Amino acid sequence: MSKLYVIGIGPGGREHMTLKAIETIKKCDIIIGYTPYIGYLGDLIEGKQIYSTGMKGEIDRCKLAIRKAKEGHNTAIISTGDAGLYGMAGPILELKEEIEVEIVPGVTAAFSAASELGSPIMHDFASISLSDLLTPWEAIEKRIEKASEGDFVITIYNPRSNSRRNHLEKAVRIMLKYKEKDTPVGIVRNSGRANTEIILTTLQSIPYEKVDMLSILIIGNSNTYVKGNKMITPRGYHIG
Amino acid sequence: MSKLYVIGIGPGGREHMTLKAIETIKKCDIIIGYTPYIGYLGDLIEGKQIYSTGMKGEIDRCKLAIRKAKEGHNTAIISTGDAGLYGMAGPILELKEEIEVEIVPGVTAAFSAASELGSPIMHDFASISLSDLLTPWEAIEKRIEKASEGDFVITIYNPRSNSRRNHLEKAVRIMLKYKEKDTPVGIVRNSGRANTEIILTTLQSIPYEKVDMLSILIIGNSNTYVKGNKMITPRGYHIG
């Protein structure tokens, strides 16, 4: 029986794909995804039918994937990072009928960015997307507030686009009510891909104009510090 | 020059390792890790020097890894899941001097468990460890409280051990102040390994005696629901 696979391909670089993601793509006839993400698959797509569409085409891609699997093709729909965090696993399972679906997890951008910054996550953390396309801004603000009150490390996805230029500034203003001004902040653009750019700064000094939709932010907790050029959140081991 | 690699090997099954984790282990002479985790590497360790020690030996393992790298060996220290979330990247960077360190990210257990449960994460989430070996219990309680108030999906690591049998019950009591009694909860034991066990239940009906240190819990947000045998957190797409 044909099957629909929802695959997290990791941040982009081939080396961060799991064996299972690679093997699953190899056995599918049809690959569906957002156009720039298909590009990360390189020669893995040779000889396959590719359906790629632009931003905001998520639900159309999901419906196409379900139709192709129903028609008897082993079909892959890909997300960058993990398949289930801000990915395609949710809408596929919401829409699916009759067909068999398997989710293949992947390395999310926050962990890739963390590995490039040092060890800024290490401990309890909260992941928040600043995109209000699908979530009311008030709910996002409340989460930023509660995560800051709880002294979580905070990872920020979708920090800033042309249509929401000041969301990140608003979010930082809320975080500054609870977090110190000099809390370390790591910004990674194109994490886990070619041309990775890293900025290590503090909560009061974020260079907003350098942040875009290809950037991930990691904001420290009250114990996070910088040693050399590495951002470190200690977990509390007695280091002797 | 020799290098120290901190490698996240994923949840355990070889198929969830990244290409980079596999290639990096292959080029190291020395592999260091918690004894059960070394077992997940299978034939990757053939011909290599292995140093494995028991629980709570983390800092000794880190010091050994740093010494071996200083002595000129390409050395790998492994964590399950990601290298930087509750892993070894932090203590290595805190302790390191002179040597070069590279962190290799991996698939964390929560994403593996999510892929087995359906798509329970999908949206903003908070990751909390219930282990108070290194963190005061009061700080953990506060984070549970704030994550619940913020309506985050919550992933729970280290939910229950012999020495802290009632931490999970205490945590659930706090969550029930903010989350509905019938909030879906997924429990996965041995996620991403052989003998995976899955329980789908609700916040008021958790079978505590079946939860141990090999289990991960995912607690839904206010929109999470169960369809068939899959736990789904919608992100808010207009599914038509």
**What percent of chain A shows pLDDT beyond 90?**
91
Q: ipTM score here?
A: 0.97
Half-sphere exposure of B226 (CA within 13 A, CB side): 14
How many contacts (CB atoms, under 8 Å) link A and B? 243
- C-alpha B168, offset from chain centre: 16
**What percent of chain B shows pLDDT beyond 70?**
100
* Structure confidence at residue A238 (pLDDT): 80
Query: Under a CB-based contact definition with an 8 Å cutoff, are residues A45 and A38 in contact?
Result: yes
Interface of A with B in 209-238 (CB under 8 A): 227, 230, 232-238
What string of H, E and C letters represents the secondary structure of B121-164?
Answer: CECCEEEEECCCCCCCHHHHHHHHHHHHHCCCEEEEECCCECCE
Interface test with A, best of B7, B20, B218 (most A CBs within 10 A): B20
Interface test with A, best of B5, B17, B19 (most A CBs within 10 A): B19
Q: Check A127 against B122: CB less than 8 A apart.
A: no
Nearest chain B CA: its distance from A238 CA (Å): 8
Q: What is the DSSP letter of A209?
A: G
Query: Comparing A137-146, A155-164, B63-72, B181-190, which segment has the lowest mean pLDDT?
Result: A155-164
* Structure confidence at residue B240 (pLDDT): 64
Query: Comparing A24-28, A80-84, A233-237, B26-30, which segment has the lowest mean pLDDT?
Result: A233-237
* Structure confidence at residue A240 (pLDDT): 63
Strands B125-129 and B153-157, how do they pair?
A: parallel
Q: Which residues pair with A201 in a beta bridge?
A: A185
Can you spell out the DSSP letters for B33-71?
A: EEHHHHHTTGGGGTTSEEEEE-TT-HHHHHHHHHHHHHT
Mean pLDDT confidence for A8-14: 97
* Structure confidence at residue A163 (pLDDT): 82
Minimal CA–CA distance to A210: which of A159, A154, A139, A147? A159
Q: pLDDT at residue A183 above 90?
A: yes
Q: Check A235 against B147: CB less than 8 A apart.
A: no
Q: Check A17 against B18: CB less than 8 A apart.
A: yes
Same fold, B3-107 and B110-232: no
Give the distance between the most distant pair of CA atoms in chain B: 62
Half-sphere exposure of B13 (CA within 13 A, CB side): 17
Interface test with B, best of A102, A121, A158, A232 (most B CBs within 10 A): A121
Q: Check B94 against A127: CB less than 8 A apart.
A: no
Residue ranges of the domains in chain B? 3-107, 110-232
Q: CB contact, 8 Å: B201 with chain A?
A: no
Nearest chain A CA: its distance from B108 CA (Å): 8
What whole-number distance in Å separates Cα of residue A172 and Cα of residue A185? 11
Q: pLDDT at residue A143 above 70?
A: yes
- C-alpha B38, offset from chain centre: 16
User: Which of B98 and A142 is assigned the larger pLDDT?
Assistant: A142
Nearest chain A CA: its distance from B215 CA (Å): 17
Q: CB contact, 8 Å: A177 with chain B?
A: no
Chain A positions in Cβ-Cβ contact with residue B66 (cut-off 8 Å): none
Query: Under a CB-based contact definition with an 8 Å cutoff, are residues B8 and B105 in contact?
Result: yes
List, for residues A33-67, the tens digit of each pLDDT value.
Answer: 999 999 999 999 999 999 998 777 899 999 999 99
Q: What is the CATH number of domain A110-232?
A: 3.30.950.10
* Structure confidence at residue A189 (pLDDT): 98
| Domain A3-107 CATH (choose: 3.30.470.30, 3.40.1010.10, 3.40.190.10, 3.90.1200.10) | 3.40.1010.10
Round the average pLDDT of chain A to a whole number and report it. 95
Chain B positions in Cβ-Cβ contact with residue A97 (cut-off 8 Å): none
* Structure confidence at residue A46 (pLDDT): 96
* Structure confidence at residue B178 (pLDDT): 98
Q: Check B17 against A15: CB less than 8 A apart.
A: no
Tell me which chain B residue has its CA closest to the CA of residue A236.
B134
What whole-number distance in Å separates Cα of residue B39 and Cα of residue B161? 22
Band (A6; pLDDT cuts 50, 70, 90): very high
Q: How many residues does chain B have?
A: 240
Band (A239; pLDDT cuts 50, 70, 90): confident
Interface of B with A in 28-57 (CB under 8 A): none
What's the sign of the alpha-carbon dihedral B42, B48, B53, B55?
negative
Interface test with A, best of B107, B132, B230, B231 (most A CBs within 10 A): B107
How far apart are the two ends of chain B, measured CA to CA in Å? Answer: 57
Mean pLDDT confidence for A102-110: 98
* Structure confidence at residue B160 (pLDDT): 87
What whole-number distance in Å separates Cα of residue A150 and Cα of residue A123? 12
Mean pLDDT confidence for B152-158: 98
Chain A positions in Cβ-Cβ contact with residue B42 (cut-off 8 Å): none
Q: CB contact, 8 Å: B196 with chain A?
A: no
Query: Under a CB-based contact definition with an 8 Å cutoff, are residues B236 and B124 in contact?
Result: no
Q: CB contact, 8 Å: A10 with chain B?
A: yes
Interface of A with B in 88-117 (CB under 8 A): 89-95, 103-108, 111-112, 114-116
Q: CB contact, 8 Å: A197 with chain B?
A: no
Interface of B with A in 148-167 (CB under 8 A): 149-152
Mean pLDDT confidence for B124-131: 97
Q: pLDDT at residue A197 above 70?
A: yes
Band (B158; pLDDT cuts 50, 70, 90): very high
